[in-house]
Amino acid sequence: MKQILITKQDGTKEPFNVEKLRHSLTRSGASEQEIDGVVDYVKKDLKEGMSTSEIYKHAFSYLEHEKKPIAARYSMKRAVLALGPSGYPFENFIAEIFRTKGYKVEVGSVVKGACVEHEVDIIGEMNGQKIGAEVKFHNKLGIRSDLKVALYVHARFEDIRSGKIQIDEDWLITNTRFSSNAIKYSNCINMKMISWTYPKQGNLHDLIEETGIQPITALTSLSGAEKKKLMEQKVILCKNIESNEEILHSLGLGAQKIENVMAESQALCRI
């Protein structure tokens, strides 16, 4: 194949590198055979000057038709990352997952410990059992929640329990990953940890699959700026759009675009 220059997000050009595409597909859990399928499909329509995000969308559209679970995994991490830069939308996204699992949930409660007051990101209650969760959002996938985070979360819940407030289970949830020391410590003190890949069963990816809760950032028919505006108005979940078509009008979107967004959210967000 002759060398084709593609356009990166910052506007600079670089030669299309099939290995980069393969690498990112491998990380999403695709098999060699599936990757070959995507690569053939992408190469066929590759054009000089295409942007990396066009190529990504193209690969995604193939996967979406052929291999739904891989497509989901491939895009889900990116969609959750796009909930930033503040941690608030991710917190509400996690709260909704707990609600869907049957918990009565409070977000950002201030709770009196034996020594000081603490803000607890999520308190969930079901059948008289109470869980407390600290939710750590990071803007880059490379950043880990480390031992210090696990230590302070444990000390916080201990102080809350010493203040005679019921918390039966401590949770620490992140959109990135944990250091091995953080995992070792949390297992030892019996604190539950959730990241994309931890634990093997019941991790963040599994929870999203299981509950079908999708963030609005997973929609491809809205621009980044449009998603930001929705999040500013506390619209975080794909399913919130379904019941709230006026909010799309308030963004100044045309009728055709609104129709596209509604169609995509119906397909993607499994209301």
Q: Where are the alpha helices (DSSP H) in 82-146?
A: 88-100
Question: Which lies closer to a second copy via its Cβ, residue 1 or residue 110?
Answer: 110
Question: Which lies closer to a second copy via its Cβ, residue 190 or residue 201?
Answer: 190
- Whole-number minimum distance, CB 230 to a second copy, in Å? 31
- Whole-number minimum distance, CB 168 to a second copy, in Å? 19
Question: Which lies closer to a second copy via its Cβ, residue 74 or residue 185?
Answer: 185
- Whole-number minimum distance, CB 115 to a second copy, in Å? 3
- Whole-number minimum distance, CB 120 to a second copy, in Å? 13
DSSP assignment of 216-250: GGG-SSS-HHHHHHHHHTT--BHHHHHT-HHHHHH
What SS3 state is found at 188? helix
Question: Which lies closer to a second copy via its Cβ, residue 118 or residue 177?
Answer: 118
Number of neighbouring beta carbons within 10 Å of residue 99 = 14
Q: Which residues contact 256 (CB under 8 A, 6 or more apart)?
A: none
Question: Which lies closer to a second copy via its Cβ, residue 104 or residue 148?
Answer: 148
- Whole-number minimum distance, CB 134 to a second copy, in Å? 10
Cα(13)–Cα(10) distance, rounded to whole angstroms? 9
Question: Which lies closer to a second copy via its Cβ, residue 62 or residue 137?
Answer: 137
Question: Which lies closer to a second copy via its Cβ, residue 158 or residue 209?
Answer: 158
Residues lying near a second copy in the complex (CB under 8 A)? 114-118, 147-149, 151-152, 154-156, 158-159, 181, 184-185, 188-189
- Whole-number minimum distance, CB 188 to a second copy, in Å? 3
Written as six digits, the tokens of 93 are 């996204």
What SS3 state is found at 263? helix
Written as six digits, the tokens of 54 are 């066009």
DSSP for residue 213: -
Beta strands in 41-162 (DSSP E): 104-112, 117-126, 129-136, 144-145
Written as six digits, the tokens of 26 are 């491998």
- Whole-number minimum distance, CB 164 to a second copy, in Å? 15
209 class by beta-carbon count within 10 Å (0-12 exposed, 13-18 middle, 19+ buried): middle
Q: Which residues contact 74 (CB under 8 A, 6 or more apart)?
A: 24, 25, 28, 30, 59, 60, 63
